[in-house]
């Protein structure tokens, strides 16, 4: 009955002890006497060595599995092996401090459920590093599974702040490679420059890269260089959210400049332009009559040259790009819009925005052909940030990548079988 409760193959349960902080279960293996791993000959028994392993909780209490291993000695004087200790991978890995089944359970808890490593370590009654080492060990097979990354037609790139390092807290970034067609995190690479992204795509099979038809990105030059270099056949799509966000940023820059030029100070609560700073970022069709009247009246009062009004109109025109249903018409509209916004009558911020639209006109118009966005990439970024919040920050790159891919990378959890759930 005890052996049935322990649930390990080919072991004898010698005893169960009630210790102050955990249950202690003593076992020995029923395996036949092993042969020498060096020469393959018969060996002599040479005593026993006890190894204490962290095991799954038993009846709600932390448990320690004490394995009394048989030590053997090779009598062959020409053999390089003098003594060795029996080993069974089904119970625990070599030099592991945790049983195999407890390590798999901890990997599932941390990876699939997104639990904090400290919480799982508290349930097992062990050290944080014991659990994290087990998660990295068992998670490696899930992450490197060749079937995890399937064929896709659309990928996206975006960055997330990894951590702050050094005396001056310099920001270290990571780039997420995402399958936007299925909403799956494919991998995490260090930095947010083009080199790391190019290296990742170069390591993929040629046929996998050739299957990609669409590539989504925000208005990032390095990510554009990655797609231009590694998958030039894919059609690049500028994310609509980031295009409109940039238009709102241009409007805010223009408002702050006009504010300083007309009143000589930064915005204060009674200043006309400062009072409508949020109204101007709201879609015009969502404003009721009172809000629209307030917006136009305060623009008239605080914008004598009409520069902020022009920036506001340019933002609304950029939003109207995504109301067009015809792809060819949208391409012509974006091209002409980039030219019009560079007119000398426009504020300098709007002219700069027009040059940006001209550089990215093909990527902006491509959205009307595929309707893919970087939304799934941003959703994956949120999952990665959740892992960081649960961990109260991560500074070890291996731990960061492992936990992010286990949580958002869609691993095949059946590879951890048998895993208690």
The verdict on pTM exceeding 0.85 is yes
Domains within the chain, CATH numbers bracketed = 2-91 (no CATH), 154-239+374-411 (3.30.420.10), 240-370 (no CATH)
Give the separation between CA 323 and CA 142, rounded to whole angstroms.
Answer: 43
**Nearest-10 Cα torsion for 296, 302, 306, 309:** -40
What integer pLDDT is reported at residue 32 of this predicted model?
A: 76
For the beta carbon of residue 394, count every other beta carbon within 10 angstroms. 20
135: CB partners within 8 A, 6+ apart: 103, 106, 107, 110, 111, 117, 402, 403, 406
Cβ proximity of 281 and 254 under 8 Å: no
**Nearest-10 Cα torsion for 127, 129, 130, 134:** 150
Give the separation between CA 416 and CA 186, rounded to whole angstroms.
Answer: 20
What integer pLDDT is reported at residue 419 of this predicted model?
A: 43
Cβ proximity of 271 and 324 under 8 Å: no
Closest CA to 208 of 157, 147, 158, 141: 147
What integer pLDDT is reported at residue 420 of this predicted model?
A: 43
Q: Show pLDDT as tens, one digit a residue, over the chain (421 residues).
A: 667 777 777 888 888 888 888 899 998 888 777 788 888 888 888 888 889 999 999 888 899 999 988 888 888 888 888 888 888 888 888 788 999 999 999 999 999 999 999 999 999 999 999 999 999 999 999 999 999 999 999 999 999 999 999 999 999 999 999 999 999 999 999 999 999 999 999 999 999 999 999 999 999 999 999 999 999 999 999 999 999 999 999 999 999 999 999 999 999 999 999 999 999 999 999 999 999 999 999 999 999 999 999 999 999 999 999 999 999 999 999 999 999 999 999 999 999 999 999 999 999 999 999 999 999 999 999 999 999 999 999 999 999 999 999 999 999 999 887 544 4
**C-alpha 230, offset from chain centre:** 22
What integer pLDDT is reported at residue 114 of this predicted model?
A: 95
Structure tokens at 347: 């504020």
The size of the chain, in residues, is: 421
Q: Is 111 helix (H, G, I), strand (E, B) or coil?
A: helix
Structure tokens at 294: 């307030």
């Amino acid at each position: 009955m005890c052996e049935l409760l322990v649930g390990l193959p080919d072991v004898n349960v010698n005893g169960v002890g009630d210790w102050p902080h955990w249950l202690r279960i003593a076992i020995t293996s029923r395996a036949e006497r092993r042969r020498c791993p060096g020469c393959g000959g018969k060996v002599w028994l040479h005593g026993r060595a006890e190894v204490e392993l962290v095991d799954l909780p038993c009846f709600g209490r932390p448990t320690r599995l004490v394995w009394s291993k048989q030590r053997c000695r090779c009598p062959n004087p020409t053999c390089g092996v003098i003594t060795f200790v029996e080993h069974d991978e089904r119970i625990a890995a070599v030099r592991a401090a945790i049983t195999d089944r407890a390590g798999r359970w901890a990997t599932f808890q941390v990876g699939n459920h997104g639990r904090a490593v400290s919480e799982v370590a508290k349930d097992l009654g062990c050290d944080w590093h014991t659990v994290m080492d087990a998660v990295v060990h068992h998670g490696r097979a899930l992450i490197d599974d060749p079937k995890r990354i399937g064929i896709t037609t659309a990928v996206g790139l975006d960055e997330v702040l990894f951590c702050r390092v050094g005396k001056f807290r310099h920001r270290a970034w990571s780039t997420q490679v995402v399958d936007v067609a299925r909403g799956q995190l494919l991998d995490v690479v260090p930095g947010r420059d083009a080199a790391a992204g190019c290296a990742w795509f170069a390591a993929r099979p040629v046929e996998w890269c050739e299957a990609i038809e669409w590539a989504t990105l925000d208005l990032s030059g390095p990510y554009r260089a990655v797609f231009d270099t590694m998958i030039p056949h894919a059609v690049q799509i500028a994310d609509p959210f980031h295009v409109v966000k940039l238009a709102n940023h241009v409007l805010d820059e223009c408002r702050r400049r006009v504010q300083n030029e007309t009143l000589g100070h930064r915005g204060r609560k009674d200043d006309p332009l400062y009072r409508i700073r949020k109204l101007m970022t709201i879609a015009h069709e969502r404003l009721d009559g009172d809000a629209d009247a307030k917006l136009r009246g305060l623009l008239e009062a605080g914008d004598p040259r009409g520069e902020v009004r022009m920036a506001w109109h340019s933002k609304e025109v950029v939003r109207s790009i995504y109301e067009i249903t015809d792809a060819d018409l949208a391409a012509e509209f974006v091209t002409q819009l980039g030219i019009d916004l560079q007119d000398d009558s426009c504020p300098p911020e709007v002219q700069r925005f027009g040059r940006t639209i001209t550089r990215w006109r093909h990527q902006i118009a491509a959205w009307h052909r595929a309707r893919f966005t970087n939304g799934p990439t941003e959703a994956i970024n949120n999952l990665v940030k959740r892992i960081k919040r649960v961990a109260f920050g991560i500074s070890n790159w291996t731990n960061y990548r492992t936990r992010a891919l286990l949580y958002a990378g869609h691993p095949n959890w059946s590879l951890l079988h048998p895993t208690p759930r």
